[in-house]
Amino acid sequence: MSTAVISRKSERANLAVQVRRAKTVLRELRDVLEDLEDRRELAAAKKRNAGKPGTPWNQAAKELGI
């Protein structure tokens, strides 16, 4: 095999590794963004419901079927 063929195979293998790593990073970023969005929604709900009475545990458990 010529060195050009070996070099191309090596480049393709390297590219495949980089693509796998990039996909992993993108999945991690998506998870972090989803967590941040959840925290933002929770903070907004707390602000919106400030001063309102909460739901008693027994009632909440009954409604949720716990």
d(CA 58, CA 49): 20
1-46 pLDDT, tens digit per residue, is: 566 667 888 899 999 999 999 999 999 999 999 999 999 999 999 9
The token duo for 16 is 């495949």
d(CA 40, CA 37): 5
Residue with tokens 């390297």: 14
What are the angstrom distances between the C-alpha of 33 and each of 19, 28, 30? 21, 9, 5
Instruction: Output the pLDDT for position 34.
Output: 98
